[in-house]
C-alpha cells in the first residue's frame, strides 16, 4: 500500500512539504527502525525548530542513527530552498565585481565528492546547490567562500599560476 500524505514545515522563509523526502529517506535508510513517515516528519520538524530529540526516541533507529534520517531530509530541503536563492545572490553583478573568485571549502566529515573539490576555484557558472550530487554524508558542511582579487591572490597563488583565472 502506498501511503500518500503531506507534511509542510516552515524552513527559514520557505514552506516545504517534507513527506516525500521522509518516505524516500526511510526507504533508503541503512539502519533498522520502526518509524512511520508521519513520526519522522514530526521529528524532522522538531529538529528544524532546534528542539532536542530524547535519547529513547533516537534509539528507535539502529545505532541511535535517527540523525541520519533527519539530516538526509533537512539537507535536501536546504538544497532546494536556501541554495538556489544564495547562488542567485552570489551571481549578482555587484557581488561578482567585489568578490570575483569563489573557493570550494569543506569541514571535517564531508563526503568524498566534496573533499575532492576542497580548495578549488569555482566559476560562477559551476555554482551548484549544496550538498553536491552524489553526497553520501548526512553532515556534509561544504560551502563556497567568495574572495576579492587580492584575497584570492594571497590565499591561492596557484590559481593564478595555472592561468585558469
| Count of beta carbons in the 10 Å neighbourhood of residue 78 | 20
Interacting residues with Zn ion (CB under 5 A): 111, 114, 131, 135, 137, 140
Which triple of cell numbers denotes residue 112? Answer: 568524498
Least distance in Å: CB of 140 to Zn ion? 3
d(CA 109, CA 138): 9
Q: Dihedral sign, CA of 45, 48, 49, 52?
A: positive
Q: Which is nearer to Zn ion, 62 or 143 (CB)?
A: 143
Least distance in Å: CB of 67 to Zn ion? 15
d(CA 56, CA 137): 24
Q: Which is nearer to Zn ion, 69 or 152 (CB)?
A: 69
Least distance in Å: CB of 134 to Zn ion? 8
The C-alpha cell 548526512 sits at 138
Residues 6 or more apart from 38 whose CB is under 8 A from it? 5, 7
C-beta of residue 14 within 8 angstroms of C-beta of residue 79: no
Q: Which is nearer to Zn ion, 79 or 151 (CB)?
A: 79
C-beta of residue 91 within 8 angstroms of C-beta of residue 127: yes
Q: Which is nearer to Zn ion, 29 or 152 (CB)?
A: 29
Least distance in Å: CB of 110 to Zn ion? 5
Q: Which is nearer to Zn ion, 37 or 111 (CB)?
A: 111
Least distance in Å: CB of 10 to Zn ion? 25
d(CA 22, CA 36): 9
Amino acid at each position: 500500500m502506498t501511503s500518500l500524505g503531506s507534511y509542510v514545515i516552515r524552513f527559514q522563509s520557505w514552506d516545504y512539504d517534507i513527506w516525500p523526502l521522509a518516505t524516500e529517506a526511510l526507504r533508503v535508510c541503512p539502519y533498522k527502525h520502526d518509524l512511520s513517515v508521519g513520526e519522522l516528519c514530526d521529528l524532522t520538524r522538531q529538529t528544524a525548530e532546534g528542539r532536542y530529540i530524547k535519547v529513547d526516541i533516537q534509539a528507535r533507529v539502529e545505532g541511535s542513527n535517527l540523525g541520519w534520517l533527519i539530516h538526509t531530509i533537512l539537507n535536501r530541503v536546504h538544497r532546494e530552498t536556501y541554495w538556489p536563492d544564495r547562488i542567485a545572490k552570489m551571481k549578482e553583478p555587484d557581488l561578482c565585481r567585489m568578490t570575483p573568485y569563489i573557493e570550494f571549502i569543506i569541514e571535517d566529515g564531508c563526503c568524498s565528492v566534496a573533499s575532492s573539490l576542497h580548495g578549488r576555484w569555482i566559476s560562477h557558472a559551476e555554482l551548484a546547490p549544496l550538498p553536491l550530487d552524489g553526497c553520501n554524508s548526512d553532515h556534509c558542511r561544504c560551502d563556497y567562500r567568495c574572495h576579492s582579487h587580492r584575497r584570492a591572490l594571497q590565499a591561492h597563488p596557484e590559481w593564478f599560476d595555472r592561468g585558469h583565472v
